[in-house]
Amino acid sequence: MLITFEGLDCSGKTTQAKLLVEHLEKIQKTDDNVASEHILPARRVVFLREPGGTDLSERIRTILLDTKHSSMSHITELFLFSAARAQLVGDVIKPALERGDVVVCDRFYDSTTAYQGWGRGIDHEGVKRLNSIATSGVTPDVTFYLDIDSREVERRKALAGLREDRMESSGNAFYDRVRDGYLEIARTETHRFVVLNGTERIDVLKEKIWAIVSQRLKLLKEKHGGGVQC
């Protein structure tokens, strides 16, 4: 099973992804039959981030986020993100899913659709085709999008005293377009895309996410008789 998290920078997606991984790992280790019935018998839980997750993908990440590369073209940016993803899918994600692992990924191809397609204004059909090639057709079973606007991004960065990387220095108008892209994905892919209010408390979001994940895991378990890979 592939679970992905999406959102603008500082939306809280990484925090929620880590909390979900911790909860899944805890349930896997428990002997409590009531708790263990919520999850399929996956071999392990794999937590990944994009871009990254392999040696090559992490090197590409460094290039993409380095402010020294401010002159990078939008097309170059698109291909670098896709190259990092292709390596991650081939080396880690597909093998993990084939083993029956639960994979939780902080960003996936929806980020490219929103950031490069909507944010940068690259042809949407071209982005869609490249996403399909880079992922070898792998699609998330469920995607959680934590929705905040560009003003909230700005406020959170200021409170945290964060230095902006190359992607984060694109400005509020860029973030507004990216958010529009995410909301359009949510409108067209309701079967997997779950929109959550990113301004809600961390514990509230954690419970909402777990309620959805546990239900989907139980449905898969019932569908396959509890003994098949997800």
Query: At 143, is the secondary structure helix, strand, or coil?
Result: strand
Query: At 227, is the secondary structure helix, strand, or coil?
Result: coil
In the structure, what pLDDT confidence band is assigned to residue 41 with cuts at 50, 70 and 90? low
Q: Where are the domains of the chain?
A: 2-223
In the structure, what pLDDT confidence band is assigned to residue 42 with cuts at 50, 70 and 90? low
What's the whole-model pTM score?
0.91
What is the residue type of 147? D
Q: In the CATH hierarchy, which top-level class contains the domain 2-223?
A: alpha beta
Q: What is the spatial distance between Cα 67 and Cα 172, in angstroms, rounded to a whole number? A: 18
110-165 residue pLDDT tens = 999 999 999 999 999 999 999 999 999 999 999 999 999 999 999 999 898 888 88
Does the pLDDT at position 45 exceed 60? Answer: yes
Does the pLDDT at position 32 exceed 80? Answer: no
